[in-house]
Structure formats: structure tokens, C-alpha cells
Amino acid sequence: MLVLTRKEGESIKIGDNITVTVVEIKGGQVRLAIEAPLEIRIFREEIYEKVKRENLLAASQSIETFTRLKELIK
């Protein structure tokens, strides 16, 4: 893990097309602005983990479950 120190208004670059800028430091919080191409999805970690769990759960369902669901929707 790389740990960097940045002041308000300063940025870091990730590759050629991602910029992370420290917008505000207030109390115990840091506000960041992230500039990245639209095809790069950016999530807060807790949201990313929730999406990952939901995707694993959906992928583990049997075809029978989806067949029953399809019939219920009809």
C-alpha cells in the first residue's frame, strides 16, 4: 500500500487518466474529488462490498429459482 500526504487542493494521479484531489479537510473527514473516464466505476468501499455480496448471491442461485420467478411474474 502506498501512503501519501496531500494538502487541501493537492492531487495525485493514477495512471494517465485518473486524478484524485483533496477538496476539503474538516474535522475527521476528508472530501475527495475523483476524475476518471466514465467506463471506470467508482464506489465507496462499503457499497462495493455490498454489490459484490449481492452479485455472489445472485450467481449462486439455481436455474430452478429463476424458472419459478419467471412463472410468478407471468
Where do the structural domains in the chain lie, given as residue ranges?
Answer: 1-40, 43-74
Position 52 pLDDT exceeds 90: yes
Above pLDDT 90, what percent of the chain?
73
pLDDT at 33: 98
d(CA 48, CA 69): 26
Which residue type occupies 35?
A: E
pLDDT at 59: 82
Higher per-residue confidence, 33 vs 55:
33
The CB-based long-range contact list for 23-28 (8 Å cut-off, 24+ gap) reads none
* Its pTM surpasses 0.75: no
d(CA 57, CA 19): 33
Q: Which residues pair with 35 in a beta bridge?
A: 19
Q: What is the pLDDT of residues 2-12, one digit of tens each?
A: 999 999 999 99
pLDDT at 40: 96
